[in-house]
Amino acid sequence: MFQSVLDDIENGKSVSAERIADALKSIFLNYPKDIHGEVALYALPLFLQLDQNFASCKETVVGLYREKELPDTLRVAMLEIMDRHFDHDLAGVVTDVFMDKDSEDSLMLGKSAKVLAGRNIDISGELMERYPDATDVEKRYYAESLAYLKKKEALPMISEDIERMEDVALQSSLIQSYAKLAPGDSKTISRLVEIADGSSVAKNELKPEILSIQAVVALGRSNTPQAYRELLEVVENEEALPSVRIVAVESFYTLPESMKAEVAVSLQKLSTEIPNSKSLDHIDRERLSTHIKRVLSFLSKE
């Protein structure tokens, strides 16, 4: 059924929004598991038609987004199209889905919240109320939404969940949201340092290296003297994982002018010590030395 719609689009024929909607339903309901990318391959031209002709397809897009029986992947795609053409009416539509008390669709609740918060629509009160009892998937998007809205009161809840969660992808997302809530705050920086050295997530054995790297990246984005000095300590810490130390070195490409000389002196000293380091093997010594030399070269040219 959907093939005739795709053929018409390819041949430049006019295709109604209703036919596109029927084709999308056919694709997503018949291919619920996109193992080999068939859904994306077939659906992309249809998504483009809806996006490029949104004015005449708005009602269809909204209808697909609202239809609870459809797979989340299709509904999320409609939400993304709506976000590209956001207006007052669409804000009301997305708010209705987010405020649906009977919904158990974690992904749609979370994604809808993120779109609203990203448009600076203040749903912070509802987010704060829901967050403690939300699913982990919801918490990921609620945390991102609270970060958009700069709701610093959420920091303790998010900090606790960083340690509690076992899914490293969700933890990584929470780390970034936590950092964005108060990027220059000394308590935020201290918490990120704890995560970077692994002390606060030691009981979680699921890829602690990734979490440490995420915390180091977040520290770099803080772009404050305190954060950069903490990163310098990470670089100098021989007990830190080599990959974590390297990511910390990379953060110095964004150093403020006032700190360049200070950091350059420390890195220069460290570069003379690394060849004799007993905590690093030959390959890691070479890798870390190379990154430090590149940063030193960059700092000297500025």
| Amino acid 200: pLDDT | 53
Query: Packing angle between helix 168-181 and helix 186-196, nearest 10 degrees?
Result: 160
| Amino acid 116: pLDDT | 98
Q: Look-up: residue for tokens 């809205």?
A: 149
| Amino acid 197: pLDDT | 72
Ranges of residues in the chain with a pLDDT under 50 are 35-36, 202-206
The mean pLDDT value of the chain amounts to 88
| Amino acid 5: pLDDT | 82
Helix (H, G, I), strand (E, B) or coil at 150: coil
| Amino acid 94: pLDDT | 98
pLDDT tens for residues 100-140? 988 989 999 999 999 999 999 999 999 999 999 999 999 99
Every domain of the chain and the residues it spans:
1-85
| Amino acid 199: pLDDT | 52
Of the candidates 108, 17, 23, the one whose C-alpha atom is nearest the C-alpha of residue 63 is 17
Q: d(Cα 114, Cα 150) in Å, to the nearest integer?
A: 13
| Amino acid 202: pLDDT | 47
| Amino acid 206: pLDDT | 43
